[in-house]
Amino acid sequence: MKVLVVYCHPSKTSFTYRVYEKFLKGLQDAGHEVTISDLYEMDFKTDLSEEEYLRETYYRAELPVAEDVKAEQEKIQTSDAIAFIYPIFWTEAPAKLVGWFDRVWSTGFAYAPNPEMKVLDKALFIACAGKSLESLEETGEKSAMETVMLGDRIRTRAIEKQMVIFDNITHWNEELGEATEPVHLQKAYELGKSFCGDKSKGESIIIER
* pLDDT (tens digit per residue) in 105-121: 999 999 999 999 999 99
> Whole-prediction pTM value?
0.93
Q: In what order do the strands lie in the sheet with 120-128?
A: 33-38, 2-7, 81-87, 120-128, 158-166
192: phi then psi, degrees, rounded to nearest 5: -70, -40
Whole-number pLDDT of residue 205: 47
* Radius of gyration, CA atoms only, the chain: 17
Question: How many CB atoms sit inside 10 A of residue 20's CB?
Answer: 25
Q: What is the pLDDT of residue 154?
A: 98
Helix, strand, coil shares, percent, the chain, to 5: 45, 20, 40
Question: What confidence score (pLDDT) does residue 131 get?
Answer: 93
Low-confidence ranges of the chain (pLDDT < 70): 171-177, 198-209
Give the end-to-end CA distance of the chain in Å, rounded to a whole number.
19
Q: Of 28, 59, 62, 15, which is closest to residue 193 (Cα–Cα)?
A: 28
pLDDT for the residue 93: 98
Inter-axis angle of helices 95-104 and 67-77, to 10 degrees?
A: 80
Q: Tell me the domains of the chain and their CATH numbers.
A: 2-193 (3.40.50.360)
> pLDDT tens digits, residue range 63-89?
999 999 999 999 999 999 999 999 999
pLDDT value of residue 157: 98
